[in-house]
Every structure is written in structure tokens, then in C-alpha cells.
Structure 1
Amino acid sequence: MGFTKIQQKLARSDSSLSIRIRVRSEAAVSFGGNAVRIGGESVLLLSASLFYFRIPREHWRERMEQVKALGYNSIDVYFPWNFHERRENVWDFEGMRDAETFLRLAAEAGLWVIARPGPYICSEWDGGGLPAYLYAKQPPMKLRDNDPVFLEHVGRWYDKIMPILQKQQAGAGGSVICVQLDNELDFYDCDDPKGYISALRDLALTYGIRVPLTACAGQGGLLQASGLAEGVVPTCNFYPHDRDPEFESKALHYREKLADLHVPLLVTETNRTHYLLRRLLSAGAKLLGPYLQVSGTNFGFTNATNNWGKPLAFLASDYDFGGMISPEGHIRPEAYEGRLLGRLIRAYGAALAEAEPAAKPAWKAEGDTEHVFGPFALGLAGGGQLVFITNGDERDKRIALRAADEGLLLPSSGTLKLCGLRSLALPVDVPLSVWGLPGRIVYSTAELYMAERQEGGTVLAFHAAGSGEIALAIDAPVASAAAEQATLEQTDRQLRVRFAGTGTALCRIRLEDGRLLTLIVTDYLKALYTESISINGKITVTLPSAETEQPADNVAGNWRLSLADGGKLGGYADKVGEASSQAPFLEQLGVYRGFAWYEASALVPVGAKIRGFLVRQGSDVISLYAGGRYIGTATPGGRSAFISAEMEDFPGGTLGLQVRAEIWGHTNFDDARLPGLRLPALKGISGLTAVTRVRDISSNWRVFQRAAEAIGAGVAEVRGTARTGKTAKAEMIDKAKMIDKTDKIARIDPADESLWPLVGFGGWLTADQRSHEIFRREFEPSSGAAAWVLHFKGLEAEARLEVNGNDAGPVRRFDPFIDITPYVTPGETVRLTVYLKRTLGQSAGRVIIYEGYAANGFTVFAAEEPQLTASAEAAQASAAAQELPLTLASGAAGWLFGRVKSSAAGKGWRVRAAGSGLKLTVFMGERIVGRLWLPGGAARPVIAGGSADSFYLPGPWLGAEGEPLSIFLEAVDPQAHGKLESLDFIPV
């Protein structure tokens, strides 16, 4: 259902909207007050990110079972729009894209689901999930805003995904407990967040979504992220340093602000360490959502680019931040910390799910408290509290805790040991009724981490580092009490268990009615690896097995290599763009992912010497060939880039040019520092110039200071303005005189340029904190050239350019190239005027002018996975035997072939590549399983988000007979040949 139709439907029946809101308030799930309630039960959510689009379908159930076994009760999952709509109106929900089956499996696994359908998801995914065809629409729409054209497209996406979520929501047979609208909108320049989020809300409600709707803030902007739209719950994403001493204060601040809105603190994303999650728990968070506890792989051309580099980064195919479960499904050490925290949360149940932070400090720490955070008290529903204390130091501490009001001291004598980088939650005055027994835990210096009601009574398991004590008050007659590896002090119904920490301590307390309370106290490691506890005091501990990475021999058989001329695909790329005078961006041609080849030519006069090539607005990977010769590779990030090349042997005439452009991925994050990092940024190139002269014209500029009001005037000196009828120069003089009167400083008459000082560009020294200057000079263009581009290299200030009195526009700091060809007559003097505004210390950089001859006649070919696969199959016929290591000449490309069967365990392989100066696009069968860029070459960007030198071959995809492995190799270092030293196959 389109957005316009939905608007009309809602407009016809305002009462239907109010009914929806009322129904939602009575739904199976509510996020209100101080708790999350599902089916009437208060639940504290411990959620792991688990993304179906990064995990083979065959592993979905296994990953869910692993998450459940590790103590988590929920998962969050994005739904990438462009994963399902590969081209406009071409939808796919089969195989790995079967979102409904994924949600059904989650419900079967007993996991609640936080559904995040966007439309924008971030997630280091191509375009943040936004289909790239949106970027090329004309007139441009405002993405992620209250723009009716954008919302019309969103309506088509919601028309596909919302019915799936509606069917799988809690209360309707599924386990989806909330639906998030957009993602971290406060990081984005949204003009109308309230209008936008309200529009998404109305769309969701129209599809019958009855569970809560949420909107998460990425940098704390609750208003900017959600618009505080009615019926939408704001949530928080926190990514602090794990040892930030002020973190609890920040979390408590947001908890208080959200309480004013009558909703709990829900943290949809944060760091993966359970050390930090405990700190969040102490602040009263009801959703603990560490991002990416289950790692995966960006299969295909789904990688993103973003600002995790300098600022440009390419996201690796391996998507792994070191969470609990590796892409292959290996359980990592941090997973046991998760299980421990999950058990603690279950042990206290609804009492913790409804807990509230103490209104004022209730405890203080004594002893060695440097870099100790807290204590923070969390009041449990039904009575009692958990006292959280955190060691932010790597060094163990000896401390004591004293109650602010009662003077209670923990321990009663001496100190307790707080291990380095450890956070504890200690029970004080907690009713034993939580576990079905009379009485209370008066206090404990050991953390309760596991509680079970078993036949005949209850068993409580604690852990401590060294000695400590547990004090109980039993509100029932005690028949007997006995301790092992501990001493027991009993006064009527008051018991104190002291343990030395030298072994597992037990205490069995038998009530007169026959019920048994068993206390078990272990060290921390045993607690981590405990599998089960028994009321008889037995504890089962299983240590994890050590994993090895021993490569197997001769996995891929005999390698074969077939070279590809200039990286061409031998006719298998599709022609997508006919000859045109200007290079079109790829999205304008319907190319949204993969490779493209621009073919063009430049007419260079005889005698002109080529000094290099200027690529205009290039992105993402640009490899340039001229006259069949490899020139170089660049990753300009949407900027222009000059690639130096001395072609002394070129005699002149028509020069054939080819650009191989690869879309690594559209940015998943909007960052104004680089053109290619803007969300609607387009890929490919917009032009190409053969440069025959490079001139540095940074010296001998005339400067006039203090013409502040003239900055950015952008009008010709010879033209009168509508406001005054005066020329711009006359206005500049008037304004300068006005400044003179204000400052009472004699100034140079701006009309007399002969008295303007002659300095280097930006070289006027001033004490002003903010200076406004006009720089002017002339240069003589070559009479035979046909294209001119100015480069303000290293510019940090604001600037605007005039050429021969014509406004050429602002000079953009992050892409400081301006094509001045339209204003230049070959052989005639060109006058440049730069209006410069800067703060003290900002550099004006240098001014370079490139002269040459623009390429034209651009024809474009493109290839995605099907075309690349066809090319690989055809290349097999000419492939020759090849041993590793191999060397590929600089600029060369080719296909490397092998065949792989699964590992002995049937779980596949992690393949590690060693080499330099090579890009690898790895196919297993017809699927891309990895894209690597090995170290070497100035063009290689930061590779972020996972392993930069390895890829994963999933066992279920290999089958009984194995699969062909086809690797498209590109040698992309102009200074050195590419080398592939080895491919090590490590069994999963």
C-alpha cells in the first residue's frame, strides 16, 4: 500500500487511529513505566544482534540455540530493504532472504525479537539498506525525512515487510515484541524528525502492528531521533569506553529523562563486554542490547563504505567485532560472561525486571577506591537491593562497602577482593520469597549468579574472589544447618556463612517443614563454566576446549590461472551506457553494485606531453588505463583525484582510456567530510581529463584584508546588484569604508589594487581570530589546451571563487577542485578572485591548476555476480596450471581457479590470504563469499569491521562434491607487482 493511499485512509477515519493506539495499549507487549511487560510478565531483556542476511540459512536455528544457551532471551534483527528489493519493484524473500522463516525459528527457539525494518538500518551494510535507485531519482528526494516522495517508496517496502512482522508479532503467534522505526536519526540532518517518525508510525499502524514502536538515538538526541512522536518509545544506543568513569551518570541521566516520558531505559545498542552491560544494569536499563554478539559475513556486493577510517573506510566482507559467536559459529570466551549475566538476571526475575535505581547514593566504598566506580544501588521490586561495584582498573582492589543510612558494613570485618576489570552485583536485604522460601538474604559479599527451585527446595549459587560471608535471616523454624569448606554461625534463625575461598563452599539449611536451602559458593572461573547445580550441592563444570588454527594441505587441488586484459570480462559485461560526452554516474544507468568499465578517448595534440590524469568525483575503486597501459588505482571517496603519469612516448592524437570502477558499497553513515560519505552519494566517475600541464600558482597573490561583508558575494564586478544598483566592487569599497569607520583604523583603498600587498596564497599574517580576505591574481592559460581545473590543495578555510568576474561557486574543503573551463578562453589572461574566510591557524593550502584535454565518448559496461560468473566460466578454457605463490604484473587482472570440498567435520573453512598489492573477489560457485584488499599501495583504504585478509566458506554450501572456487584477482599497486603468497584453509 503506497504512502499516499495510507494518508488518505487515515484521513478518512481519525477514530481508527485512536482505536489502534488504544488497542496497542492493551497489546501483549508494553514498554511503559519502569518495565518491559510481555504477556503481563515483567521481563528484563538481554538481546544479541543476529542478522539472517549475514548467516547461511542452514545455520539460523543453530545460532539461535547458541544465543539461548548463552543466557540471552532476545535478539535484535535488521531487515535491509535493498537485500529484498534488488532492483526497483523486483522483490526476493526466498532462501537467505526468507525473513518470515527466520522469525518463526526465533519464536520456536524461545527468543523475543526486536525487529528493525528501517527504512534505514546503518549496520555497516550497503547504503544502510536504502536502495541505490533512490539516489538517482530526479528531482532528488530528501532521504530519511518527511518527504512524500521518499515516503511513497518507503510505503512499498513496508507493504512487503510489515505484514511479515504483523504475523510474527507477540500476541499473534510470534515473538516480535517491538518494531523500530529508522535508526539513529539524530546522526542525520533530518529537517522534520517528528513529522518523519510520525509518518513511519502511521504506516506501521496501518499494517496492524500492535507491539510497541521505537526509535533509537545514536548520540543521545532523543528529540532528534524520535521527534518525541506520540506512540513511539525513544531508546538509546551507547558506545562508551568500557572503563569510562562517568558512564553510570550518563545512563542514569537518560533513565531519568525517559522516566519523565513514562517509559523505561531501553538500550538497543552498546558494547559487547558484559562488564559494561553490568554497569548499564546498575542504572536501571530494561533492555541490554550489545551490538553484534553473533558475527557474520557480508556475502555478495553488500559491503558498505563509511567513516571509520581517515575518514574513508571500506567494510570487510567478514563482519566481526569480536562478539560471543564467530562468523563460523565458534563460541568465544566472552560468551561465558554472557551466560553468567543471563543467569543472574533470571535468578532475580521480575524483582530485577521492575527494579529502580536508588534516588540518592545509598552506599559508599572504602579502602582502595581509586578507579572504582560506584557503588550504585538498584532497588528490587518486593524489597531489597542489588549493590553494584565496578573496578575500572586492571589491578585487584581491597574494599569495603558502607550503607549511607544504616551504617551496615560489607563485609562485617576486613575487606572484600574486587578483581581487576570486574563488576559485581551484591544482594542486600533481598527476600527469599523470590525463590519460594521465607526470610531474606541480609547481605552477601559473594554475587548470586544462579538460582533454581528443585524438588525438595531451592539451590542458590554464588561466586566470590577469596574469602567472604553471606548473612541470612530465616523466617521459619530451622531444623538443621551444616556447612562444608565454610564456618557457620547460627543464632536462632539468623545465620552467617563465612568462607575462605580455598575451595567450593556448601551450606545446607533444612527447615522444619522439610524444605532445603542449599548455598554453593565457588570461585569466578567455576561460576563461568558451571553447567548445572543441584540441591544436594553437586556442581557440574565443563571447561571449553581450546581451538586451534592448523591449516589443511592441498584443499583446493591444483590451482589454475587465466589472465584478463585490463580486467575486462571478454564480452560478458552488459552495455549500460551509450557514448556520451560526459561520464554518467553508475546509479543513473541502473548499476547499483559490482563492477563497471568506462571506455572513452581524449584528443591530445601532437607535441603535448601527458603529465597525468584527473579523475572527477571518483568512487569507490578507480583503476585507470591509458593506451592499454596501467596508470594507477585511486579511492577518492567521491572527490577528484590527480593520478600522475609521465607518457613521454605518446606521440599525440586519440588516446584510448578505460576506467575500471568498483562499487565497494554505498555509505551506511552520512558524513559531510567526504562527498562519497553522503547518503545519496553516487558511484563511478563524472569525468576524466588528460593533463598536459600542472602549475603551482600559489605565489604572488594580491591580498585585501577586512572585506568581511564581501565574502561569498559571488557576483561579477562588472554587474550592478538589484539592491543598490552599484557594482560589486563599489559595494565592496563601501563596506570596507564602513569597517574602517567601525574599527577606526586607516585602510587601503580597495579600488587601488596596486597597493594591495603581494603574498603567497593565504600568506597574510594577522592577529585576528577570524579574518576575511580577498586574494587575486592572473595567469596565462595555454593556447592549445581545452580544459582547466583548479585544485585548492590543503584548503581548510571557507572560500568562494570568481573567474573573470563570474561566480564559479564555493570551494568545497572536502573536494577542493573547480572546473573553470567554461570561463576560460585559451591564450587569454584569466583573473582569479578568491574570497577567503578563516579562523586563526586554518590553512589556505596551495593553488594548483591542471590543464589538458577532457575525455569524451563515454561508453559504460557493467557486471554483477551473474556476469562475473559467466566470465569466470568462459575463462576456465584458457586457464593454465599455477602454483602459489604467484605474481601478477602491476595493473593486470585474472581469474584463479580451484575446487573445494568441505572440511572433515562438514563445517567448511576459514581461508586466510597472504600477499600484497592485490584485490580478491572470491566466488564459491555463483556466490561471492569474500572481497579482500591485501596490504600494499597508496590507494588501499582502511579496511574495517572484520578480518581484512580472510573469508569464510560455509560447510552447507559446499555440498558432497564440493564447489568451484573462482577468485578475480586485480593487481592494484602501480609501484609494485601483486603477490599472492598463500591461501591457508583452516577447518571450521
Structure 2
Amino acid sequence: MRASGYTCVDVYLPWNFHELAPGRWSFEGRRDVAAFLDLAHEVGLYVIARPGPYICSEWDGGALPAWLGLDGELGVRQNEPRYLERVIAWFDQVLPLLAERQHPANGPVIMVQLENELDFFDCTDRPGYLTALREAARGHGITVPLIACSGQGDLAGATGDVDGVVPACNFYPDDDSPDIEAEVRRYAALVAERGVPLLVTETNRRHRTLRRLLAGGAKLIAPYLQSSGWNFGYTPSSGNWGRPGNFMSHGYDFGGYVTSTGVERPEYAEAQVLARVVEVWGDRLAVAVPGALDTEVACDFPTSSDPAALGFPEGGRLVAVAHLGTAPGTAVVRGVPVAVAPGSCPLMAVDVPLRPWGMDATLTLASADLVAAADGVLVFSSDVPVTVVLDGTRTEVPVSERQAVGGVALVVLPTAQAARLRSVEPGGTVQVDDAPHRPGESAPSAVHEVRRRRDRAPEEPAGLHALPPALESLGVYRGRGAYRTATDLTDIDELLLTGAADIVDLSVAGRSHPPIAGFGAARRIDVRDVTGSVAIEAVVEIWGHANFDDARLPALRLGALRGLGTLWKVRTTTDVSSLWTVHGHWAGTPAPTRALGGWSSTRVAAPVGYSRTVHSPPRRRCVCAGSSNRCG
């Protein structure tokens, strides 16, 4: 990451990765938070730490320990005493590690995130909940900014509007959308009313999109995620991506600039070039003001519906020209036609004084990224010819060439070389390394070995139970559990399995049924060819707990437990699809009778109700004789 030019790493700290069982903590080996933070500090990376308590992140249960679901009165992600008691226990373990390593005193931690995308969740007391988390963080000596990210743009829903909790935004737009800049500028204005900059704590990975966010006013840009990898050891979740009940893959690669096996993709060079752009403009980017485009731009290719520009206080601006097409194109900027490569978004300098680099001139227009500047030298990165207007003199500079205008050397490097740019001398000498450029690095960092140890596995529980218990109640939070029973299936045609999750391998009388992965939904099991007293066996695997609160299936609710659920004998069935009365729309009195869902209406999306009284079969009477305590 440091070699790519990025300056900060954003890291989740999963609660249930460190609390292996209630009250049993581990911060060693793979779980050594302090070692990770110290290594980031050593190589020159800042850290945004996200200890939750909830992190989502396609991680088992969103990092909430599975045993929290055993307490029916405990409300996860709520301002509720039982839950907050457990959260404080977690914070008591992890926050001191962060407090000891805060920037600038002793380490790299520049921000701490509380919660994660709370605006997706039905929290009944957001101000109370966030206040409790804030007080816990401040109580442990966290003095860096506390942030809370909104997942769907509801700033108040994410922060509870609590003082001292800075709102941040997660943006996941379509990379080809023409409307990204307009959305970003709106949120930049909203947070500016609160006196804070726009922090984009998660977004797409494509650097063309990152440039558009920068031009729209984002001061922190954190693509999720650039360095790919895996989730090991039953740490993935079961969630709702795509359709209810998807199993999250152990492979965790969303097109990052480094693959899970460490191979650099083309976006890696894009990262290095953008890092040079940020480096060359320096503090001016921090104080630049976003705004609508005040420079006339016309394009013969698809582009933004509302292009953005950053204005510098001392004069001049950067104009983002996004090419959303696939063919070479031309933009006309201030009446000057310039070439723009497909899929790119050059940050074009307009009316920028060059005094900070020791040149008494004004860069009227540059159609490509400025990646380096020294006394008398300007270096640009581009894969198409660059147009430069310097003090009114227009010059076209081909790729990999240089020209001099008014005593200023103009150099154009292709992306691959600009990514490896090392230094620029005042005389115009440009040095390009074979190895990637590491901005601000003085010496390579040593590789540290992290010692690993095997955590003690929980003892395998066993025993007799009246009903199948949840695996979590037996101390099984990841892995498998086995269930065995015997029952009489005489005159039973089917069984009904309810509440089973995640993966159930069921065997009845020695016959295996196809694996069941219904996430708690009821499943009918055909046993018509089985009779008498038989054995029923099941092996249930916990793939992962839900990381997102999805009400469509029982096991996808946040905090839902895992296990076999309940297996019922079905003695009788009744078809209740007919004889429903219809209420709503224009249905009059007496209410019409239809099949369930059979009312036809032109009122699209308007609610309609169906009602029917369903009588269960009469219960068989139990006659007890004498004192034998046997009932039949």
C-alpha cells in the first residue's frame, strides 16, 4: 500500500475475532492489533481504526459475538444496558491499544470510527446509542476525531447528530454514472454546514471515480477495498448480497489494485500517478473549495452531467474532465481543443500561478495531470498528447517528449513511467526508477515475522436435550455440531424443519437428504417410505452469522442463532389457499371471496388485505388410567 502512494490504511477490528468465548480474549499472533498498528507507523501509513462494535464488512455476524443472541432481552445495536455492558467490555480491551498509538504523539491512529452504517439499521435511540459509544471512547483517552459513516446518505441516521461524532459518507456509485459530482458536492455542502470536511470512508476502487470525488470536494477518499485477500477460519458471514441468503465467499476480491495473491493490476499504476498529483499540489488541495464548473467545457464523448472544479485560494483551479466512453475523444476547454484518453479523468489546471515553484508565470491551461514541478520544469502524466497554454502561448507536447516554452521545460511521461517517477532536477532532468516510487520514503522497511499460536478450541459439548439447542448455547460459535435422536414415523408422511441454519446434512433412517440451506425458512422432508422407530441424524455447519439485518428470512436477522432448529412431525395438512375475503382497493360489502393473492386491480403498489379464519384439527383427548402416568 505504501509503495502505491497511499498514505493511510483503514482497518476493521472485529470484536468476535478477539473475544473467542465470553470473557476469553486474544490479541496475539494473527490477532495482534498493537503489532499491526506499529508496523503501519513504521512504514509511514496513517491508520483509521474501526473497532465497531458492529462492522458489517462481510464478516461473521458483522463482528458481533454469536452468544449475544442467546439473551432474548438483549438488543444489539441499541441503547440497551445488557448490550452496552458487553460493548464496554470489548472497548475496555481494544481502545487502550488505540489510545496509546494516536497521532501525532505515539503512533499512526488519526481517526476512530464508532459503529458502521447505522443508517441501515432500525436503531430506536440513535442519539443515546452514539452518545454511549462516544463517552466510552473519550473515557479511554481517544482524542483524535471520532467518525460515523452513513451507508445510504442519512447523516443523522449514522451519527444520531451527536456532538463530537463527525459524519462521514460511503459512496458506491456506478462508475459510469454522469451524476457522481453533483451528489458529492451536495454532501460536501451538507457537512460544511456542520463545520467539517467531506470524509468518504468507503467508495469504489476505480481511480477515475476517485478523481471525480476529489474534484467534488472529498478530503478523505478511502476505496473499499484496494488490497484483496481471504477470510479464513469460519470468519465469512451469511448475508443478503444479490438475493437473500448468499454465502459470503472466503475469497475477498472486489477488483482491488492488488489481487489476493499479490499481483499488481493496472489500477496500481493509476494509484501511483494519483499519489503524485496529490503530492505535487500539496496543501493547496486541503484548502481548495469545490464548486460548479465556471470554465466552459464541451466534450464529444460521454462525460459528467455537472462537472466539478476545485478553486485554490491564491487563484486558479483544477477542472476534472471525466471521459466515460471507450473511444478517444476531444474536449474543448476555454475554447482550446484537447485530447482526452478514454476511461480517464485528467485534473486540468486552469489559471494557476506558478510562483510556488519559483516560476513567474501562469499556467493558463494544462490538459493532463501535473505530477511534478521544479524551478523551470513541469512534468505531466498522459497517454495522449498534452496541450499546455503558458502565459498565452499554446504548445502541444507528444507523449514521452519534452518542449521548452518561455524558459519552462514541459515534459510528458506515459502513465507507466509517471508511476515510477523518482525526482525532477531544476535543470530539467527527470529520473524514473525501475522500482515503484514510494512518496516520502527514505529507506525500505524490513519484513517482520508475526509469531502464531493455536488458540485452545472449546471443549466439544454433548448431552441430552428436550429440544434441539442452538449451537451457540453449547459454546459452538464456528464450525459444526451433530444432532441425533430416534422417533416413531409410523403413519407420518413428512417432517417439517423450521429455523435451521446454516447448512444442514440430514439423514433419516440412514438415508441422506440433499443439503439444506434455507436460512431458517420452513422445509418439508418427505418420509413416506419410512415407518417404525428410526434414527434421525443431522450435521449442522455454521458458515457464518448474518452481517446485515435482513427480515426476509429468519436466520438473516442480526443476532440470529444457528443450529438444527425444530423438526416437527406433520400429522395432517389443510389447503387454505381458497375462501379468503378481500379488503381494500374498491372491494365493497359483502367482501368478495377469492383465492389468496387472486384479487386483480389496476392500483399498482396499493395495499390489499386478505382474511380468513382457519380452524386447527381438534386435539386428541388423553385418558389416563390409574397411577401409571402413561397417556395414549
Q: Please report the TM-score for the alignment, with normalisation by the length of structure 2.
A: 0.89
1:846 aligned partner:
none
Tell me whether 1:418 sits opposite 2:340 in the alignment.
yes
Match of 2:481 among 571, 588, 596: 596
Q: Supply the distance in 1 between the matched residues of 2:208 and 2:127 (Cα, whole angstroms).
A: 35
Q: Deviations over 1:914-964 (max 9, x none)?
A: xxxxxxxxxxxxxxxxxxxxxxxxxxxxxxxxxxxxxxxxxxxxxxxxxxx
Q: Supply the distance in 2 between the matched residues of 1:589 and 1:824 (Cα, whole angstroms).
A: 37
The change in CA–CA distance for 1:302 and 1:761 in structure 2 (over 3 A counts) is same
Between Structure 1 and Structure 2, the one with more strand by share is 1
Report matched runs for 1:390-429 at 5 Å. Answer: 390-402=322-334, 409=335, 411=336, 415-429=337-351
Tell me whether 1:322 sits opposite 2:255 in the alignment.
yes
Aligned 8 A contact 1:467 1:498 in 2: no
1:775 aligned partner:
612
Q: Deviations over 1:337-368 (max 9, x none)?
A: 1111111011100011111113x430232251
> What is the one-letter code of the residue matched to 2:589?
R
1:450 aligned partner:
372
> What is the one-letter code of the residue matched to 2:429?
G
1:76 aligned partner:
10
Q: Deviations over 1:131-170 (max 9, x none)?
A: 1111112x42111121121111111111111111000001
Q: Supply the distance in 2 between the matched residues of 1:195 and 1:286 (Cα, whole angstroms).
A: 29
Q: Supply the distance in 2 between the matched residues of 1:209 and 1:393 (Cα, whole angstroms).
A: 46
Q: Supply the distance in 1 between the matched residues of 2:276 and 2:398 (Cα, whole angstroms).
A: 22
1:657 aligned partner:
536
Report matched runs for 1:654-803 at 5 Å. Answer: 654-691=533-570, 697-698=575-576, 701-706=578-583, 747-748=589-590, 757=593, 759-765=594-600, 769-776=606-613, 802-803=614-615
How far off is 1:395 after superposition? 2.2
The change in CA–CA distance for 1:323 and 1:762 in structure 2 (over 3 A counts) is closer
Match of 1:378 among 310, 314, 328: 310
Q: Supply the distance in 1 between the matched residues of 2:193 and 2:575 (Cα, whole angstroms).
A: 61
How far off is 1:390 after superposition? 0.5
1:883 aligned partner:
none
Tell me whether 1:616 sits opposite 2:498 in the alignment.
yes
Aligned 8 A contact 2:273 2:381 in 1: no
2:56 aligned partner:
122
Say how many residue pairs are matched: 599
How far off is 1:311 after superposition? 1.7
2:463 aligned partner:
578
> What is the one-letter code of the residue matched to 2:39?
L
1:97 aligned partner:
31
1:626 aligned partner:
508
The change in CA–CA distance for 1:367 and 1:337 in structure 2 (over 3 A counts) is closer
Q: Deviations over 1:617-638 (max 9, x none)?
A: 1110011011222122110112
The change in CA–CA distance for 1:577 and 1:364 in structure 2 (over 3 A counts) is farther
Report matched runs for 1:441-480 at 5 Å. Answer: 441-451=363-373, 453=374, 457=375, 459-473=377-391
Q: Supply the distance in 2 between the matched residues of 1:679 and 1:256 (Cα, whole angstroms).
A: 34
Q: Supply the distance in 2 between the matched residues of 1:466 and 1:340 (Cα, whole angstroms).
A: 15
Aligned 8 A contact 1:372 1:393 in 2: no
The change in CA–CA distance for 1:114 and 1:458 in structure 2 (over 3 A counts) is farther
How far off is 1:529 after superposition? 5.2
Instruction: For residue 86 of structure 1, give the secondary structure of its aligned residue in structure 2.
Output: strand
Tell me whether 1:637 sits opposite 2:519 in the alignment.
yes
1:890 aligned partner:
none
How far off is 1:542 after superposition? 4.5
Aligned 8 A contact 1:76 1:116 in 2: yes
2:453 aligned partner:
none
Q: Supply the distance in 2 between the matched residues of 1:640 and 1:159 (Cα, whole angstroms).
A: 41
Aligned 8 A contact 2:386 2:412 in 1: no
> What is the one-letter code of the residue matched to 2:611?
I
Instruction: For residue 100 of structure 1, give the secondary structure of its aligned residue in structure 2.
Output: helix
2:219 aligned partner:
286
Instruction: For residue 519 of structure 1, give the secondary structure of its aligned residue in structure 2.
Output: strand
Aligned 8 A contact 1:675 1:681 in 2: yes
The change in CA–CA distance for 1:350 and 1:826 in structure 2 (over 3 A counts) is same
Tell me whether 1:507 sits opposite 2:404 in the alignment.
yes
Could you tell me which runs of 5 or more consecutive residues in structure 2 were left unpaired when the two chains were aligned. 437-456, 622-632
The change in CA–CA distance for 1:233 and 1:367 in structure 2 (over 3 A counts) is closer
The change in CA–CA distance for 1:690 and 1:630 in structure 2 (over 3 A counts) is farther
> What is the one-letter code of the residue matched to 1:504?
E
Instruction: Select between 329-338 and 249-258 the one with higher mean Cα deviation.
Output: 329-338
Aligned 8 A contact 2:580 2:595 in 1: no
Q: Deviations over 1:420-447 (max 9, x none)?
A: 2211101112222333444332221232
> What is the one-letter code of the residue matched to 1:117?
P
Tell me whether 1:200 sits opposite 2:105 in the alignment.
no
Tell me whether 1:209 sits opposite 2:142 in the alignment.
yes
How far off is 1:470 after superposition? 1.9
Tell me whether 1:252 sits opposite 2:134 in the alignment.
no
> What is the one-letter code of the residue matched to 2:132?
A
Tell me whether 1:825 sits opposite 2:584 in the alignment.
no
> What is the one-letter code of the residue matched to 1:401?
V
Report matched runs for 1:41-52 at 5 Å. Answer: none
Q: Supply the distance in 2 between the matched residues of 1:432 and 1:746 (Cα, whole angstroms).
A: 78
How far off is 1:180 after superposition? 0.5
Instruction: For residue 632 of structure 1, give the secondary structure of its aligned residue in structure 2.
Output: coil
Q: Supply the distance in 2 between the matched residues of 1:502 and 1:443 (Cα, whole angstroms).
A: 17
2:627 aligned partner:
none
**4+ long deviations beyond 6 Å:** none
Q: Deviations over 1:743-766 (max 9, x none)?
A: 9x9733x8xxxxx75x54443556
Q: Which has the larger radius of gyration?
A: 1
Q: Supply the distance in 1 between the matched residues of 2:571 and 2:25 (Cα, whole angstroms).
A: 49
Report matched runs for 1:432-447 at 5 Å. Answer: 432-447=354-369
The change in CA–CA distance for 1:256 and 1:502 in structure 2 (over 3 A counts) is closer
> What is the one-letter code of the residue matched to 1:167?
E
The change in CA–CA distance for 1:434 and 1:673 in structure 2 (over 3 A counts) is farther
Instruction: For residue 335 of structure 1, give the secondary structure of its aligned residue in structure 2.
Output: helix
Q: Deviations over 1:85-139 (max 9, x none)?
A: 01011000111111011111111111111111110111111111111111112x4
Q: Supply the distance in 1 between the matched residues of 2:316 and 2:596 (Cα, whole angstroms).
A: 71
Q: Supply the distance in 2 between the matched residues of 1:508 and 1:361 (Cα, whole angstroms).
A: 28
Aligned 8 A contact 1:497 1:507 in 2: no
Instruction: For residue 285 of structure 2, give the secondary structure of its aligned residue in structure 1.
Output: helix
Q: Supply the distance in 2 between the matched residues of 1:458 and 1:629 (Cα, whole angstroms).
A: 82
Counting aligned pairs with the same residue, the percent is 38
Q: Supply the distance in 2 between the matched residues of 1:746 and 1:772 (Cα, whole angstroms).
A: 13
How far off is 1:536 after superposition? 3.5
Aligned 8 A contact 1:364 1:375 in 2: no
Match of 2:171 among 238, 250, 271: 238
Instruction: For residue 685 of structure 1, give the secondary structure of its aligned residue in structure 2.
Output: coil
The change in CA–CA distance for 1:214 and 1:655 in structure 2 (over 3 A counts) is same
2:439 aligned partner:
none
How far off is 1:467 after superposition? 3.7
How far off is 1:184 after superposition? 0.5
Match of 1:498 among 395, 401, 415: 395
Tell me whether 1:227 sits opposite 2:124 in the alignment.
no
Q: Supply the distance in 2 between the matched residues of 1:575 and 1:690 (Cα, whole angstroms).
A: 29
Q: Supply the distance in 2 between the matched residues of 1:375 and 1:401 (Cα, whole angstroms).
A: 12
Q: Supply the distance in 1 between the matched residues of 2:466 and 2:331 (Cα, whole angstroms).
A: 76
